A and B are shown apart, each in its own frame.
Chain A
Amino acid sequence: MFKSDFVDMKDRLLGKTLTARERDIPRFCDVLIIGGGVMGSAIAYWLKWRTLDGLKVVVIEKDSTVIEKNPNSFKVRSYRDSSTTLSVGGLRQQFSLKENIELSLYTADFFRNIKEHLSVKGGDPPDVQFNPSGYLFLSAEDTAHTLVENARLQRSLGAKVELLSLEKLKEKFPWLNTEGLFLGCHGLENEGWFDPWSLLFAFKRKAMSLGAEYVEGEVTGFNFKQGSEYINQDISSEDVKHLEGAQVKLKDGQTINLNCGLMVLAAGPQSGEIGRLMGLGAQNSIYTAPIPVEPRKRYVYSVHCPDGPGFSSPILIDPSGTYFRREGLGGNYLCGRSPTDEEEPPTDNLEVDYDFFESKVWPILAHRVPAFEKCKVKSAWAGYYDFNYFDENAVIGHHPGFCNLYMATGFSGHGIQQAPGVGRAVMEMLIDGEFKTIDLSRLSFERYIEKIPLWESNIV
């Protein structure tokens, strides 16, 4: 575990001079986290919070941050393709699974006390710019019963939601066209949107100040060790491999071996690809079960509509999955929609398809809120969902193929709002060996092996 320290000591005793380059990049660590987005940073933060100097935590990020701090401007050029920074940053409790609701409630609590959690000595206290506007889920008659069941579950777990009939909807939101609707579910507390970049920055800054190390580079391969010390008598040691470390291609082109005790995969949309690098998905056996995560491109359009509902509007989710929210004060709105399986766009680049807005998003939006008939697309961007194609839900837990591989991925678009809770859960899993705060055992990888999906009905 403290091999790196011994190597350092040995080098010093033998009088070897270490070059600055070698000192900068760690070669050994206890926990290696792949992915330095908000999930990886949250895991690193919680691990360091719990253990301080007890564990050496290294985070590998492909596209790490370059912060240019001038007296006049503050420029950040990085995390270019990261799902974290391209997300819309919503926080809601209106889920259909107990785990997701609990995680979001925990996040609200964490954000409320974020100054105590993520303040750094000598730095400004973090502020995630939370806008408590609430969510309004609308449903047609055929899906209304799910909404009622979900609201009952959410209330039993402590979330505050109210169900609104058509009359109430008309009365509360006069700008809404209620045609084809049956019921609405309106969140009264702890729901809204926040600034994903501020959250990522706060987590990363705190993790680094507690001693986590960030390495900028790309994982190109893995080193394996056959067998494991954790072996059980029922499983032969040939079946289970042990990850010895990762081969990391640094920014300057050099490839190093980074050895680790435990590995946590939090690479978001690229998790499935990294799983293939480990050799997962090659054979049909549970030890090489693939990580069921793939990137899916989602567009976000920023439209200008001066007559829109403005301050009287929550984040609205249409039965079709189309959403919009206010952005800033200048009459701008962010909107988007998840495409169906047939019209899924290619994921090799982040180009925006403007026709998708014209043909799929705008008609629904203008139908639901007539004020949007006169709206104009100002800009748009695309980001990746870490889409779990098995059941659109998070995979948190252990992989059977490697006895030291843990996963926290596949959040299918709601990862950023669950990062504080998931980071803590992964920390508890690694250190205590069980979940203490929130029981996430239903989200483990087991359900993929047993082929029992755990569906979340409120995916947007």
Chain B
Amino acid sequence: MYGLLSALYSKKNQVLDLHHYNPIRISGFLLNSWKTKTIKDAELLDQAYIPERHQILGNDLASAHFIVYRGGRVKFIGDNFWISKDNKAKTCDKLPNNYVKDYYLEAIDASGLRLRYEGLANLTNLSQLTELRLRGCPCVDDWFVDRISGEFCSTLEHLDLSDCHQVTENALSCIYRITNLKTLVLENIVKSRSFEYACLLLEDALPQLNIIGVKYMDVTKLSD
């Protein structure tokens, strides 16, 4: 719809029969990309945001259900134990199945899960979340960290991004948003000098922040 100017050309004849000119070509590259796309689609479906879940359980419990039933662990404020599901069990008895008042998530441990950016839609409005462990999540990248930094900017104190190999030094430029962040664990992903230097600068800029897992260049060796 372009209003007046649409008078100048017809719309009907513009849709081309394109399939006629595009025979299917099968190649390893195409098969591979088809395979990855199918896997990704299944994961996206698995991690889709279901509004009913949040309506029935409330934000914190719904997020807990989402994480626990995908193999992660959660901890609530006031509890001193982690809640997780047994591999064999179908349900997790420790998690309430209806809304409980004043029951807030304190920590989420999603280590090793294939948690995707789109799945983060399930982790919203967690007003008391202070700890988030994402150790070894293969799908965590800079965009994921960007989303976390905006979502939990006022509460998060401990963030673990170890072994998330898609995270690069660019992700550090959004950490400043998490104003209360005290520890940031970056084990096994800091591989270049510039990444190390960026960590150093970040610690400089945010005085309360302590970055764990970065082996800085040993200055004493230089003097020898």
| 9-residue interface stretch from B10-18, B79-87, B98-106 | B10-18
Residues in B whose Cβ lies below 8 Å from that of A55: 16
- Residues A130 and B143 in contact, CB atoms below 8 Å apart: yes
A131 adjacent to B173 (CB under 8 Å): yes
Please tell me if B49 contacts chain A, counting CB pairs below 8 Å: no
> Hey, which chain A residues are within 8 Å of B11, CB to CB?
433-434
Interface check A145, CB cutoff 8 A: no
Which size class do B's interface residues fall under? 35 or more
Report if A54 contacts B (CB, 8 A): yes
- In whole angstroms, how far apart are the Cα atoms of A134 and B66 in the complex? 29
Query: A121 to B175, alpha carbons, bound, how many Å?
Result: 35
Nearest CB in chain B to that of A400: its residue: B5
CB pair B21 A312 closer than 8 Å: no
> Known contacts A398-B5, A434-B1; is A54 also within 8 Å of B16 by CB?
yes
Residue A12 at the chain B interface, CB threshold 8 Å: no
**With A132-B146, A310-B205, A311-B202 as contacts: A234 and B7 at CB distance below 8 Å:** yes
Q: Tell me the bound Cα distance from A172 to B147 in angstroms.
A: 18
Given contacts A130-B143, A232-B8, A433-B15, contact A441 B175 (CB under 8 A): no
Min distance, Cβ B201 to any Cβ of chain A, angstroms: 5
Contact A403 B22 (CB under 8 A): no
Instruction: Check A132–B145 contact: CB distance below 8 A.
Output: yes
- The reply to whether B174 and A192 form a contact with Cβ atoms under 8 Å apart is yes
Complex contact B22–A311 (CB within 8 A): no
Q: How far is the CA of A102 from the CA of B175 in the complex (A)?
A: 26
Report whether A53 and B22 are in contact in the complex, using a CB–CB cutoff of 8 Å: yes
Nearest residue, chain A, Cβ from B170: A131
Shortest distance in angstroms between A117's beta carbon and chain B's nearest beta carbon? 11
Nearest CB in chain B: distance from A30 CB, A: 10
Q: Indicate if the CB atoms of A54 and B18 lie closer than 8 Å.
A: yes
Interface of chain B residues 1 through 44 with chain A (CB within 8 A): 1-5, 7-12, 14-16, 18, 20-22, 27, 29, 33, 37
Contact of B201 (CB < 8 Å), options: A132, A134, A329, A432: A329
CB-CB < 8 A to A172: which residues of B? 179
Task: Give the residues in chain B near A160, CB-CB below 8 Å.
Answer: 150
Distance in Å from the Cβ of B52 to the closest Cβ of chain A?
Answer: 21
Interface contact B170-A130, CB-CB below 8 Å: yes
| Complexed CA–CA distance, A430 and B33 (Å) | 28
Q: Does A133 contact B (CB under 8 A)?
A: yes
Q: Once the chains are docked, how many angstroms separate the CA of A327 from the CA of B142?
A: 18
Interface residues of A in 128-143 (CB under 8 A from B): 129-134
When distances are taken between beta carbons in the complex, the residues of chain A under 8 Å from B143 are 108, 111-112, 130, 132, 190
Which partner residue on chain A sits nearest B10 by CB separation? Answer: A230
Name the distance in Å between B161's Cβ and chain A's nearest Cβ.
14
Q: Looking at the complex, which one of A54, A314, A398 makes contact with B9 (CB distance below 8 Å)?
A: A398
Instruction: Tell me, rounded to whole Å, the shortest Cβ–Cβ distance linking A277 to chain B.
Output: 21
Q: What's the least CB distance linking B186 to chain A, in Å?
A: 14
- A contacts with B, residue count (CB < 8 A): 53
- CB closest residue in chain A, given B36: A116
**Do the beta carbons of A311 and B171 come within 8 Å of each other?**
no
Q: How far is the CB of B150 from chain A (nearest CB, A)?
A: 3
Which residue in A116, A234, A311 is a CB contact (below 8 Å) of B206?
A311
Distance between A429 CB and nearest chain B CB, rounded to angstroms: 8
The reply on B123 being an interface residue by CB < 8 A is no
Interface flag for B114 (CB, 8 Å): no
Cβ of B204 < 8 Å from any Cβ of A? yes
Query: Would you call A240 an interface residue if the criterion is a C-beta within 8 Å of the partner chain's C-beta atoms?
Result: yes
| A445 CB–B CB distance under 8 Å | yes
Complex formed: what's the CA distance from A311 to B177 in Å?
10
**Option from A119, A121, A190, A444 in Cβ contact (under 8 Å) with B2:** A444
A314 to B77, CA, bound (A): 33
| A54 to B15 Cα, complex, angstroms | 12
- Interface check B194, CB cutoff 8 A: yes
Residue A166 lies at the interface, judged by CB distance under 8 Å to chain B: no
Q: Does B69 contact A (CB under 8 A)?
A: no
Flag if B14 contacts A433 (CB, 8 Å).
yes
Contacts of B33 in A (CB 8 A): 116, 119
B2 touches A52 (CB 8 A): no
Query: Is B172's CB within 8 Å of the partner chain A?
Result: yes
Give Cα A235–Cα B176 distance, bound, in whole angstroms: 60
Within 8 A of B (CB), among A187-242: 188-190, 192, 230, 232, 234-235, 240
Contact status of A310 and B204, CB under 8 A, knowing A446-B3, A446-B4:
yes
Contact B21 A329 (CB under 8 A): no
A99 to chain B, nearest CB (A): 14
Closest 10 pairs between A and B when the two form their complex, measured CB to CB:
A188-B150, A132-B146, A433-B11, A311-B205, A312-B205, A189-B150, A133-B173, A433-B14, A132-B174, A54-B18
Chain A interface residues toward B at CB < 8 A: 50-55, 108, 111-112, 116, 119, 121, 129-134, 160, 171-172, 188-190, 192, 230, 232, 234-235, 240, 309-314, 326, 329, 397-398, 400, 403, 430-435, 439, 441, 444-446
Could you name 10 residue pairs across A and B whose Cβ atoms are closer than 8 Å? Answer: A116-B33, A121-B27, A129-B170, A130-B142, A131-B170, A188-B177, A240-B8, A311-B176, A312-B176, A431-B14
In the complex, besides A112-B117, A311-B205, A433-B12, 11 extra interface pairs with C-beta distance below 8 angstroms are A112-B143, A189-B146, A192-B174, A232-B7, A232-B8, A235-B7, A310-B204, A311-B198, A329-B198, A434-B1, A446-B4
